[in-house]
A and B are shown apart, each in its own frame.
Chain A
């Protein structure tokens, strides 16, 4: 009997993924309940509102969505234990509309009333994201405007072909921006997300383009034999970190968009890729096989010295940086083929803050910091399919959203 009990407790232990662990003190988050006053209830909008509230790390939403009158300030006795009540009406008659009222649960005082409208039903998730973002702001919680952003990603369709799409962070909204051909490595060109860079294989050699997502206007940036990837864009958008191989050797270059001048940053006969601006953009972190396997290194843009950042794992093949924070994926199984375990770790440029595991199960790759560095996006593959995941570094709150079956090639947000 003891063994049976031990086995069951072990199952519990292994079932808990660090990515899904809620470590933030529950008391620090506000209890909130949804009250739907819509003529026709819509599970999709309520589920997205609940997801947004949860991933914010600032709310503990009641998973039950109650029915009620939105215009009244009456708070049902059952909801008095909440701090806030979010009443809303969602309608898809003549466009998509969302009206919200945020009330104090104790006395029904109105804190916020706002309406949102959009002609496209497909873009309905953005209404919910904007509403929750506004609720978060009115309550003066730390900014979560990243939930309003587009995710841009490329995925393979057939051999030699791919497509580039936009999505909301939950992937409920998806739209193809470039269909056909082989177009890879999309990377946002500006913080307002009007344009992105991508690598086109339409010509004889890879060519980097910049495309405006609203007008379709394309601008050729640079070509390179071998390979060409825009790995990072400086905060003011004036410089790019490119992995390119003008002599057949993949190295990292900094490209000045105003002068069209490129400066070689790494010089190594093996593989140097995945350059990311770090610190105040005077340094980069990157992936190199200079120790005989893929690992994470750092260097100043203007000096030759290279330092190792990560001292564990035998295959650390992707990373991202925000200020002094570094996130990387590390292979933790040694299968030549099949499903390997890749976990994400958070560390720092100086190593002073130690290294913190962010995931414990599955294959977790493509780590990307949000523009404010507070959240990490990643792709998780498990036996039951792929998901896009988010880890809120402040609250330790994580969420997964299911992805379609096609293989993601690269992603940015």
Chain B
């Protein structure tokens, strides 16, 4: 009797486990065309596709200067703890070095780029990258760097330097890069 009960319960377990998701099939349609569903007036003519590859990407131009530096033009990248935007004490030498490079850059425009690891989502991660970039700009100012020609931009999680699922890789993506604007 107990064996029979177990068999029945197992069968129901499998049914529940396999029966949850309701998914739709994939499609392999290929021919694009106009969208004129008869009596579906909300769908007008065909939509466009714009290719911006021709414009290039100014953020991808500078190669990393070393294993742990993805800044360009003599700058040193600044790295951050998980979810944090405070500059740690072990980054103070990099900040001092960057302040010197800033002051040697004369009137050249400098871009400070805030970046995050992949674990944040949506707008909040971009704001976190911005706080990091702003923290670096303020720290450079505190070191006597001239911040008059600095522009800061957050790239959120969009511009990782590595994609391995390791703590070291995640740490390398939680960074601020600096480079001259060309």
Residues of A bordering B, CB below 8 Å: 1, 4-5, 8-9, 11-12, 15-17, 20, 43-44, 47-48, 51, 54, 114-127, 130, 148, 156, 159-162, 166, 170, 172-173, 175-185, 192-194, 201-202, 204-206, 211, 213-216, 225-227, 229, 231, 243, 245, 248-250, 270-274, 287, 294, 317-318, 329, 336-337, 340, 365-366, 387, 399-402, 407, 409-410
Interface flag for B172 (CB, 8 Å): no
When the two chains form the complex, which single residue of A11, A51, A127 contacts B24, counting CB atoms closer than 8 Å?
A51
- Whether A182 and B57, one on each chain, are in contact in the complex, defined by CB atoms closer than 8 angstroms, is yes
CB contacts (< 8 Å) of A9 on chain B: these are 9
Interface residues of B in 85-142 (CB under 8 A from A): 109, 111, 117-124, 126-131, 133-134, 137
Q: Can you offer 6 A-B residue contacts whose CB atoms are under 8 A?
A: A114-B39, A130-B37, A175-B49, A182-B159, A193-B42, A337-B170
Interface centre among A12, A20, A120, A173 (most CB of B within 10 A): A120
CB contacts (< 8 Å) of A272 on chain B: these are 127
Q: How far is the CA of A202 from the CA of B56 in the complex (A)?
A: 8
When the two chains form the complex, which single residue of A17, A177, A204, A329 contacts B47, counting CB atoms closer than 8 Å?
A177
Q: How far is the CA of A201 from the CA of B58 in the complex (A)?
A: 9
When the two chains form the complex, which single residue of B38, B117, B124 contacts A115, counting CB atoms closer than 8 Å?
B38
- Whether A214 and B52, one on each chain, are in contact in the complex, defined by CB atoms closer than 8 angstroms, is no
Interface flag for B10 (CB, 8 Å): yes
CB contacts (< 8 Å) of B156 on chain A: these are 184, 227
Q: Given contacts A271-B127, A274-B122, are A161 and B57 in contact (CB under 8 A)?
A: yes
Q: How far is the CA of A192 from the CA of B44 in the complex (A)?
A: 10
- Whether A366 and B21, one on each chain, are in contact in the complex, defined by CB atoms closer than 8 angstroms, is no
Q: Given A194-B44, A250-B130, A401-B24, 8 more contacts at CB 8 Å?
A: A15-B17, A120-B34, A124-B27, A130-B39, A181-B52, A215-B48, A245-B154, A365-B121
Q: How far is the CB of B18 from chain A (nearest CB, A)?
A: 9
Q: How far is the CB of A34 from chain B (nearest CB, A)?
A: 15
A interface footprint on B1-30 (CB within 8 Å = 1, 0 otherwise):
010011001101100110011111111011
When the two chains form the complex, which single residue of B25, B27, B121, B158 contacts A184, counting CB atoms closer than 8 Å?
B158
Q: How far is the CB of A326 from chain B (nearest CB, A)?
A: 16
Q: How far is the CA of A294 from the CA of B125 in the complex (A)?
A: 11
When the two chains form the complex, which single residue of A12, A130, A337 contacts B119, counting CB atoms closer than 8 Å?
A337
Of all chain B residues, the one with the shortest Cβ separation from A130 is B40
When the two chains form the complex, which single residue of B6, B24, B117, B160 contacts A172, counting CB atoms closer than 8 Å?
B24
- Whether B151 and A225, one on each chain, are in contact in the complex, defined by CB atoms closer than 8 angstroms, is yes
- Whether A11 and B13, one on each chain, are in contact in the complex, defined by CB atoms closer than 8 angstroms, is yes
Interface centre among B35, B117, B121 (most CB of A within 10 A): B121
Q: How far is the CA of A359 from the CA of B170 in the complex (A)?
A: 28
Q: How far is the CB of B164 from chain A (nearest CB, A)?
A: 12
CB contacts (< 8 Å) of A114 on chain B: these are 39
- Closest 10 interchain pairs by CB? A180-B53, A181-B52, A120-B33, A122-B29, A119-B33, A216-B48, A180-B52, A273-B123, A121-B29, A250-B127
- Whether B27 and A365, one on each chain, are in contact in the complex, defined by CB atoms closer than 8 angstroms, is no
Q: Given contacts A15-B16, A122-B31, A183-B52, are A116 and B122 in contact (CB under 8 A)?
A: no
- Whether A245 and B24, one on each chain, are in contact in the complex, defined by CB atoms closer than 8 angstroms, is no
Interface flag for B65 (CB, 8 Å): no
Interface flag for B73 (CB, 8 Å): no
Interface residues of B in 41-61 (CB under 8 A from A): 42-55, 57-60
- Whether A116 and B16, one on each chain, are in contact in the complex, defined by CB atoms closer than 8 angstroms, is no
Of all chain A residues, the one with the shortest Cβ separation from B159 is A160
- Whether A274 and B153, one on each chain, are in contact in the complex, defined by CB atoms closer than 8 angstroms, is no
Of all chain B residues, the one with the shortest Cβ separation from A4 is B6
- Whether A180 and B54, one on each chain, are in contact in the complex, defined by CB atoms closer than 8 angstroms, is yes
Interface flag for B181 (CB, 8 Å): yes
- Whether A122 and B27, one on each chain, are in contact in the complex, defined by CB atoms closer than 8 angstroms, is yes
Q: How far is the CB of A90 from chain B (nearest CB, A)?
A: 13
- Whether A177 and B53, one on each chain, are in contact in the complex, defined by CB atoms closer than 8 angstroms, is no
Q: How far is the CA of A402 from the CA of B34 in the complex (A)?
A: 26
